[in-house]
């Protein structure tokens, strides 16, 4: 495969720290300091939704810090055996780099046994030899005692200015004609999708070297946002409604009640979307509602989502309880 027919997000994976969009200026200052020093003083946990730059940052750091391949190890299977076998790697001194690095992607998928091994045997004991760089989409799934062994940086893609600058650089490199105001508006609306998705949208909508935004806004919607907005809209409908029969219907047969449109849309979104970022759904509902019983429920369900086998069923249970909390009051 040549560079020309790669997807843009792969082609433009940051090679240098200058190409990386930081979410937060404090992260930027911190990382630049470590780059100057040649190592991370501890272990690093990078968390956030898909495509916000966790692996990209890890990769820039590894390229800068690792001087010989033998000073680096990427965990592949996360099996108990693979974690056990790390022992000899983390114990020995680095060959040429200041510190060795172990990259552990999707750390939330580690088994309890592996977490115990890491926590009790490796993370602190061998800090002077080895830095663990871990990534996750689900920081809330990680046991607090384990998490405190890391310096935690969480990303949300909120640096609109930085994202816009990066997109402009890519479009210019690709010789794409675009309208700057449209680009700004697009990124303001969609930055939460993460840079990977944003770059892909720019690529698929750049036809004959011209970026055409006319299809973008209808084409994409963020499933988590759809669920959040429809849930909030259900609450609003409920607060306004004073029809007793409808309230019954809402609990017993929501699809033929006054919330049928929003409820149907939520079910459909859940059915057709994979890998929804449920932490975000509960967190935003928590933030966007002022109704205390719902805040309380959202916080509780957010806490529990990590141990649920089927998070969508967990969400429907939340929806039921939150609807009931409004009906009970009004």
Ligand X SMILES: Nc1ncnc2c1ncn2[C@@H]1O[C@H](COP(=O)(O)OP(=O)(O)OP(=O)(O)O)[C@@H](O)[C@H]1O
Binding region for ligand X (CB under 6 A) out of 47-55, 119-127, 221-229, 260-268: 47-55
- Report the nearest approach of Mg ion to the CB of residue 54 (Å): 5
Binding region for ligand X (CB under 6 A) out of 5-13, 31-39, 251-259, 284-292: 5-13
Cβ atoms within 10 Å, residue 104: 23
Task: Write the DSSP symbol of residue 94.
Answer: P
Full DSSP string of 133-178: EEEES-GGGS-HHHHTTEEEEE--S--HHHHHHHHHHHHHHTT-B-
User: Do 282 and 302 form a contact (C-beta atoms < 8 A)?
Assistant: yes
The answer to whether residue 50 forms part of the interface with ligand X (CB under 6 A) is yes
Q: Which residues are CB-contacts of 200 (< 8 A; sequence separation ≥ 6)?
A: 7, 8, 9
**Distance (Å, whole) CA 311 – CA 279:** 10
- Per-residue binding letters, 180-209, with ligand X (x by CB under 6 A): ---------------xx--x----------
Burial of 234 (0-12, 13-18, 19+ CB in 10 A): buried
Interface size with ligand X, residues (CB under 6 A): 19
**Distance (Å, whole) CA 252 – CA 250:** 6
311: partner contacted, choices ligand X, Mg ion, none (Cβ within 5-8 A by kind): none
Q: Residue number with the shortest CB distance to ligand X?
A: 53
187: partner contacted, choices Mg ion, ligand X, none (Cβ within 5-8 A by kind): none
User: Do 88 and 102 form a contact (C-beta atoms < 8 A)?
Assistant: no
The answer to whether residue 137 forms part of the interface with ligand X (CB under 6 A) is yes
The answer to whether residue 238 forms part of the interface with ligand X (CB under 6 A) is no
Six-digit token string for 146: 């384990």
The answer to whether residue 73 forms part of the interface with ligand X (CB under 6 A) is no
- Report the nearest approach of ligand X to the CB of residue 75 (Å): 14
134: partner contacted, choices Mg ion, ligand X, none (Cβ within 5-8 A by kind): none
13: partner contacted, choices Mg ion, ligand X, none (Cβ within 5-8 A by kind): ligand X
50: partner contacted, choices ligand X, Mg ion, none (Cβ within 5-8 A by kind): ligand X
The answer to whether residue 53 forms part of the interface with ligand X (CB under 6 A) is yes
> Residue for token digits 């009931």?
324
* Residue ranges in contact with ligand X by CB under 6 A: 9, 12-14, 20-21, 50-56, 135, 137, 166, 195-196, 199
């Amino acid at each position: 495969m040549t560079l020309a027919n790669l997807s843009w997000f792969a082609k433009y994976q940051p090679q240098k720290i200058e190409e990386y969009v930081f979410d937060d200026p404090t992260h930027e200052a911190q990382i630049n300091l470590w780059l100057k020093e040649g190592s991370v003083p501890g272990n690093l946990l990078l968390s956030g939704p898909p495509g916000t730059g966790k692996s990209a940052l890890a990769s820039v750091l590894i390229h800068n810090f690792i001087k010989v391949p033998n000073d680096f190890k990427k965990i592949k299977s996360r099996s108990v055996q693979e974690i056990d076998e790390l022992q000899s790697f983390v114990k020995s001194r680095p060959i040429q780099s200041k510190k060795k690095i172990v990259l552990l992607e999707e750390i939330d998928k580690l088994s309890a046994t592996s977490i115990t091994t890491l926590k009790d045997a490796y993370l602190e004991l061998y800090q002077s030899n080895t830095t663990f760089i871990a990534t996750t989409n689900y920081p809330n799934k990680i046991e607090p005692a384990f998490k405190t062994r890391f310096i935690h940086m969480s990303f949300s893609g909120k640096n609109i200015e930085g994202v816009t600058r990066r997109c402009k650089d890519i479009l210019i490199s690709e010789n794409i004609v675009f309208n700057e105001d449209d680009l700004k508006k697009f990124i303001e609306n969609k930055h939460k999708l993460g840079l990977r998705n944003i770059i892909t949208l720019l690529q698929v909508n750049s036809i004959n070297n011209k970026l055409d935004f006319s299809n973008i806004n209808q084409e994409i919607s963020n499933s988590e946002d759809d669920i959040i907005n429809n849930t909030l809209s259900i609450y609003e409908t409920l607060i306004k409604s004073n029809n007793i029969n409808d309230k019954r219907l809402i609990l017993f047969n929501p699809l033929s009640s006054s919330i049928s449109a929003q409820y149907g849309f939520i079910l459909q979104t859940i059915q057709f979307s994979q890998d929804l970022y449920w932490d975000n759904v509960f967190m935003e509902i928590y933030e966007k509602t002022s109704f205390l019983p719902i805040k309380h429920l959202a916080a509780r369900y957010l806490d529990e989502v990590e141990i649920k086998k089927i998070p969508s069923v967990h969400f429907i249970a939340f929806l039921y309880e939150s609807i009931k909390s409004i009906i009970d009051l009004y």
